[in-house]
Structure 1
Amino acid sequence: MPTQMQRPLLLLPFFLTSLLLYCQPISTVASPDPTFSPSNGTDYIRSGCGATLYPEICYASLSRYASAVQNSPGRLARVAIKVSLLRTSHMAAYVSNLSRQSDFGADNRAAAALHDCFSNLGDAVDEIRGSLKQMRQVGAAGPSTESFQFQMGNVQTWMSAALTDEDTCTDGFEDVGDGEVKTEVCNRAADVKKLTSNALALVNSYAATGTP
């Protein structure tokens, strides 16, 4: 079994593969609607983002996908999950690189904190990826309310777990002295958590509609 120190080296190709497999252009989420107005789509996204804890970040990260979202709460939630997956994967790759460099440094506590952070981010990527896969299957079994609630329950559980793992990522830095690496990792982790939090809020809003 790979040791904690080897895990970043072994899993980095996985994250790069994940980006290729799961982060295709988001514009392909929905077919163009000739009657759709992009301005209506951005208005819809701004309104939907009102249900999140960070509405301005939500709108800034999703408004460019108005033509894909149109006026669909399901598409909005799916796009938000996809953006969260992309950013979390990038964060994992970034921490992996720092972790490999820290193995040759003198600060063992910082090295351990980076390894732990990477491990948690790896779990978060898996969970968000699972959420996105489930979202793509919502409604495939037909307009069943029971099936919809079951599928959305899975999405909510995985997104909640991902948010917890992202939050835990920086716990190890509490015992690490202030410095550039600690500040940068914690700031980036905070940004990623906000995107995942927003995605979860939009998932919850979609689940509350009760229909696929």
Structure 2
Amino acid sequence: MDSPSPSSEAPVDSTSPANPPTEMDIDSPSPSPEAPEDSISPANPPTEMDIDSPSPSPEAPEEIPGAPSGKTLISSATTLLKQTLLPPEIKTICGKTDNPKLCESSISPLLTAAIKPDASSVLVLSIQASINATKAVMPTVNKVAAADCQELYDDAVSNLEDAINAVKESDIATVNTNLSAAMTDYGTCNDGFEETGEPNPLADVADKLHKMVSNCLAISTLIK
């Protein structure tokens, strides 16, 4: 019986124990590339913009102390324009008074297109201007003057109102009586300060009102 031939030797593994293969860990993730270093250094942090904060509003123009306000300038310009546009008949009537410029400036704010430029109409306007001026100073009178001056200025208003009613009734004698009484009211208040020797805070006010009513008396003489 033939003996089996020796089997061929298995090929020797080329991987020697001295150089074991490197085992690859397929489960571990590959290292991610390093992120680029932020170019903004802590020494120069970015400026944060506050989008909620409103932008600064422009500063209002600084007012000049003692300078007239815009309203005052507009009012003065309007009054001056009305004086310039006064009908010549009214300028002629005011020219017959002792204070023609005061006559024009006092009645021009009250003038309308419906008013006739005759002596009676101008007289009513002039008296009404005196009433308005007297009422306008009443807070000052009540603050700085004695009680008798307050009553006198109230009486002056009543006398002037009666004078207007008399003009409408063509009662010139009563007109003149009431106008003269109003002038006396202003003067009596001034006399009270002179008697006591106290300074009169209403001297300038009374002087202007006296001139306004004096103009009314002059205009009343033009009514035929």
TM-score tier after normalising by the smaller chain length: 0.5 to 0.7
- Secondary structure in structure 1 of the residue aligned to 2:150: helix
Partner of 2:64: none
Q: Write the distance in 1 (CA, Å) between the matches of 2:210 and 2:220.
A: 15
Structure 1 residue ranges without an equivalent (≥5): 1-37, 100-113, 139-147
Give aligned-pair identity as a percent.
27
> Are 1:91 and 1:189, in contact at CA under 8 Å, matched by a contact in 2?
no
Partner of 1:186: 203
User: How much does 1:76 deviate?
Assistant: 0.5
Aligned partner (choices 163, 174, 180) of residue 160 of structure 1:
180
User: Is 1:195–2:212 an aligned residue pair?
Assistant: yes
> Are 2:87 and 2:117, in contact at CA under 8 Å, matched by a contact in 1?
no
Partner of 2:100: 55
* Cα-to-partner distance string for 1:144-175 (whole Å, 9 max, x where unaligned): xxxx4xx1111111111111111222111114
User: How much does 1:66 deviate?
Assistant: 5.6
Aligned runs of 1:1-212 on 2, under 5 Å? 41-64=86-109, 65=111, 67-99=113-145, 114-136=146-168, 138=169, 148=170, 151-176=171-196, 179=199, 182=200, 184-206=201-223, 209=224
Change (3 A) 1:42 1:178: farther
Name the larger-Rg structure.
Answer: 2
* Cα-to-partner distance string for 1:87-141 (whole Å, 9 max, x where unaligned): 1122233201334xxxxxxxxxxxxxx32322221221111111112223x2xxx
TM-score, with structure 2 as normaliser: 0.56
* Cα-to-partner distance string for 1:182-207 (whole Å, 9 max, x where unaligned): 2x31111111111111112112222x
Asked which structure has the greater RCO (Cα within 8 Å, sep 6+), the reply is 1
TM-score, with structure 1 as normaliser: 0.59
Q: Write the distance in 1 (CA, Å) between the matches of 2:85 and 2:112.
A: 8
User: How much does 1:39 deviate?
Assistant: 7.3
> Are 2:157 and 2:182, in contact at CA under 8 Å, matched by a contact in 1?
yes
Change (3 A) 1:168 1:48: same
Q: Write the distance in 1 (CA, Å) between the matches of 2:139 and 2:221.
A: 28
> Are 1:45 and 1:63, in contact at CA under 8 Å, matched by a contact in 2?
no
Q: Write the distance in 1 (CA, Å) between the matches of 2:84 and 2:194.
A: 45
User: How much does 1:57 deviate?
Assistant: 0.8
> Are 1:156 and 1:204, in contact at CA under 8 Å, matched by a contact in 2?
no
Partner of 2:53: none
Structure 2 residue ranges without an equivalent (≥5): 1-82
User: How much does 1:40 deviate?
Assistant: 7.5
**Total equivalences in the alignment:** 141
Structure with more helix by fraction: 1
- Secondary structure in structure 2 of the residue aligned to 1:71: coil
> Are 2:155 and 2:185, in contact at CA under 8 Å, matched by a contact in 1?
yes
User: How much does 1:68 deviate?
Assistant: 4.6
Give the RMSD, CA atoms, in angstroms.
2.3
